[in-house]
Amino acid sequence: MNAFKQTSPASVRRTLAGLTLALLLLLVVASAFAQPQPVVGQVTHLSGVLSVRHADGTRVVLSVKSAILQGDTLITERETYARVKFVDNGEIVLRPGSEVAVSKYLYDEKEPKNDAVAIGLVKGGLRAVTGLVGKRNHEAVNFDTPTATIGIRGTHFGALFCQDDCGGVPTPNGQPPANGLHVDVVTGAIQVTNPSGTQLYSAGQFGFVPSLLQPPVIVPPSQGVTVTMPQAISSNGNTGTQKIGAAKLDACVTQ
């Protein structure tokens, strides 16, 4: 008696076909993950050490003219200010000790409906000026923070997230900013939203969001925190035609 069951040719063919299909699917998935991330911006101004953690986990130090890729997380060291210009002419300036994730930056010149910008402020502070995406499609731009999401309305604004690490930030009363998210608006407007509520801030207004469990509130200018940047970082070239949160150097105490 034969102890082994004979396998039919049809069964072998089915098995091989299944293995081939599985291999093809694996190749497709691997190819998708291997696709390089698009270049979405460039470092234009820098003072100090700026590093980036790419989407694949690798980390390198950047310099002026270094490319920024979608999926990059930018990290500034102590005494480092960095300015980045994006493909739609939007710009952000990072304070020392900041971590900002460029999660998504899609700009389709011919199809605005495909635009999508998602930037995450993980820690520290930044100033941002809306590019073409935000000007033509407000809903396509969001800045995420640990306590709220910031939507824009054609805007120049500042955001600072404090976790017992804002002792060097200048304030009207000379005291360190409270822990939580501080925002200020120069032009346009922002809408700040978390699970506890939504608040619209117009030009000249200041806001504060203590936590996810507390709604955003408007604070008077006498208590507002302005995210300031050095002249050398906030100005374009030698003309000074555009400034992003410019302040005297001695007003920007590093942490």
Class for the domain spanning 39-251: mainly beta
- Which amino acid is present at 172? P
Instruction: Name the residue ranges covered by the structural domains of the chain.
Output: 39-251
Q: How confident is the chain (255 residues) per 10-residue block, as mean pLDDT?
A: 55 60 57 71 96 96 97 96 97 97 95 95 96 92 97 93 92 92 97 98 97 97 92 65 53 31
The dihedrals phi and psi of 39, each to the nearest 5 degrees, come to -75, 125
Instruction: Tell me what pLDDT residue 22 has.
Output: 61
Tokens 């805007």 belong to 155
